[in-house]
Amino acid sequence: MKKKSGLLLILAWSSGIIGLILGLVFDPLWFARFGSLIVLFAVMGEYSLLHGELHRLYERLEKVDADMDMPDLTPSKWHLKKVWMSHVTLVLGTLIWGFGDLLL
């Protein structure tokens, strides 16, 4: 799951760069249209991050006995950075999708 979310973020940013190039070379509408792909890949990445984290939490909680101390369930710093990066990608993709033709 971890690799899938990172790959989806890379796809989101790559589609933004491709859309920017197409928008500069051909028509600014291409940049705005590729914003929809940025949003799509960012949402898929966020879902993958959420689903993977919940799956990890459930696995750890199933191993806890009544006599045991509660394990550390905080997400890793890398996971939090990917969540933050996917939020930023989602917001930027939405702005590009809505106003990308006006930006170029």
For residue range 60-73, what is the model confidence (pLDDT) as tens digits?
777 777 666 766 77
Is 55 inside a domain boundary? yes
Q: How many domains does the chain have?
A: 1
Residue 93 belongs to a domain: yes
Q: For 3-39, how does the pLDDT look when each residue is reduced to its tens digit (9 = 90+)?
A: 888 999 999 999 999 999 999 999 999 999 999 999 9
pTM attached to this predicted model: 0.84
In a domain, 46, yes or no: yes
In a domain, 68, yes or no: no
Range 71-104 burial, b when 16+ CB lie within 10 A, else e: eeeeeeeebeebbebbeebbebbeebbeebbeee
Any domain includes 39: yes
